[in-house]
Amino acid sequence: MKNLLFICYFFFSIHSLYPQSRSESIAITGNVEIPLNLTIKDLQQMNVVSGTDFKVVNTSGEIRKEFKTYKGVLLNELLDKAKIVLQSPKEKGKIYFVATATDGYTAIFSYHEIFNNPAGDKVLVLFEENGKTIDKDGVFVLIAGTDKITGARHVKWLKSIEVKKL
């Protein structure tokens, strides 16, 4: 009985440390020529962008979290690597990207927001916060740096980016 209690306690503790399942890779899927499944190692070999002082702000304006430094790769670079399928340039207006986490949390970006607006140069898939791998919030976290309420499209436990067309 004691052993059973101990085992239950052990699994409960692990569960509260990692309430969501962690995805060790990000799948880039959908309307792409080359579907990808990228690990931290893959991202480290791409153009790594570093930044400082990111604040995760919620709808009430409260700072939920702050990281001093971060490292990641631009979403537009990941999408270029996967090569978005376009029959004609006019289709760009119909293309959008769905970032999904292991708990089902979702954020959406449009093609023009990412490739035709300064906002796109601040959308990153992070693999490092404060000089360390991410840990508590999963392996990858997506951020949208020019958002006002940065919490809304701060996607923890990121597992996939889907390229879709209306």
**Integer CA distances (angstroms), 15 to 20, 21, 22, 101, in order:** 8, 9, 12, 17
Q: Which stretch binds ligand MTE (CB under 6 A): 26-34, 45-53, 57-65, 73-81?
A: 57-65
Is the Cα dihedral 18, 19, 23, 28 positive or negative?
negative
Residue that is written with structure tokens 């390229």 in the block:
163
Nearer to ligand MTE, 86 or 149 (CB): 149
Residue that is written with structure tokens 């101990």 in the block:
6
Q: Which stretch binds Mo ion (CB under 5 A): 36-44, 50-58, 92-100, 133-141?
A: 50-58
Q: Which of 156, 154, 152 is nearest to 59 (CA)?
A: 152
Query: Phi then psi for 54, rounded to 5 degrees?
Result: -100, 130
DSSP string for residues in 118-129: GGGGGEEEEEEE
Q: Which residues contact 86 (CB under 8 A, 6 or more apart)?
A: 92, 95
Q: In the bound complex, which residue of the shown chain has the CB atom lying closest to ligand MTE? A: 151
Kindly tell me which residue out of 28, 75, 101, 114 binds ligand MTE, with binding defined by CB under 6 A.
101
Tell me the two tokens of residue 144. 């949208």
Bridge partners of 50, per DSSP, are 71
Rounded to a whole number of angstroms, the minimum distance from the CB of residue 59 to Mo ion is: 5
* Site for Mo ion contains 151 (CB under 5 A): yes
* Site for ligand MTE contains 65 (CB under 6 A): yes
Nearer to Mo ion, 60 or 87 (CB): 60
Nearer to Mo ion, 120 or 151 (CB): 151
Contact letters for ligand MTE, residues 122-161 (x by CB under 6 A): -----------------------------x--xxxx----
* Site for Mo ion contains 58 (CB under 5 A): yes
Q: Can you give the binding site for Mo ion, defined by CB under 5 A? A: 58, 151
Report the interface residues with ligand MTE, using CB under 6 A: 56, 58, 64-65, 101, 103, 105, 151, 154-157
